A and B are shown apart, each in its own frame.
Chain A
Amino acid sequence: QVLLVQSGAEVKKPGASVKVSCKASGYTFSGYYMHWVRQAPGQGLEWMGWINPNSGGTNYAQKFQDRVSMTRDTSISTAYMELSRLRSDDTAVYYCARSASGYGGAYSFDYWGQGTLVTVSS
């Protein structure tokens, strides 16, 4: 079965960086784009961007363009999302989610990781 298992909760100070991992299993990792979505406490879902695990190509939401980096390690079927220059309003649960089709990133998301809480506090 498809599983996306994310790294554990993080506490960071303002200005620091955080790197969240998402280990995939149960399918061909390089065959499906991976997305990152975040959810601030009590708020809605916010798409951050995607990575093509095959090529490493990325597409970031403009809001995060200068602070986010999405990478992958195909040898261990793991995607990463690094967010830099953290602010208190980056406090959120960060999810990885798989594209529902192997044809690209512009699809719905059929599997989600369990979420990683990132808390930014001085």
Chain B
Amino acid sequence: DIQMTQSPSSLSASVGDRVTITCRASQGISNYLAWYQQKPGKIPKLLIYGASTLQSGVPSRFSGSGSGTDFTLTISSLQPEDVATYYCQKYNSAPLTFGGGTKVEIK
């Protein structure tokens, strides 16, 4: 099975900072990669699919890039409401594995 590895596992940044989270697949998955945001005590929310397509209603400060095995989620200007854990997920084929998550906090 393909493994999904996220880094870092946690980060702390200041409001307004540019934040980048990486996700690496153990084998190529083309662009079948999604990103989810899970705020504390809440359900996951789809942010990006197809590696770079923003889900409707998601703020434009979020962006995704990558293809094959290496992907990134970028928050261009971190806001207090972005405090959450972010997960990548591959969905090219079953099993639809998630990465381990990246916890984002405000410094």
Residues in chain A within 8 A of chain B (CB atoms): 35, 37, 44-47, 49-50, 59, 61-62, 95, 97, 100, 105-110, 112-115
Give the chain A neighbours of B93 by CB distance below 8 A: 106
Q: Which residue of A lies closest to B43 (CB)?
A: A112
A47: which of B85, B96, B100, B101 is its contact (CB, 8 Å)? B96
Are B43 and A47 within 8 A (Cβ)?
Answer: no
Give the chain B neighbours of A46 by CB distance below 8 A: 98
Give the chain A neighbours of B32 by CB distance below 8 A: 106
Are B43 and A108 within 8 A (Cβ)?
Answer: no
Give the chain A neighbours of B87 by CB distance below 8 A: 44-45
Give the chain B neighbours of A50 by CB distance below 8 A: 94, 96
Supplied contacts A44-B100, A106-B93, 19 more A-B pairs, CB within 8 Å: A37-B44, A37-B98, A44-B99, A45-B44, A45-B87, A46-B98, A47-B96, A47-B97, A59-B94, A95-B44, A106-B96, A107-B49, A108-B34, A108-B89, A109-B34, A109-B36, A109-B89, A112-B44, A114-B43
Q: Which residue of A lies closest to B89 (CB)?
A: A108
Interface size class of B (residues with CB under 8 A): 20 to 34
Are A44 and B101 within 8 A (Cβ)?
Answer: yes
Are A47 and B95 within 8 A (Cβ)?
Answer: yes
Q: Which residue of A lies closest to B94 (CB)?
A: A59
Give the chain B neighbours of A45 by CB distance below 8 A: 36, 38, 44, 87, 89, 98, 101
Cα(A105)–Cα(B32), bound, Å: 12
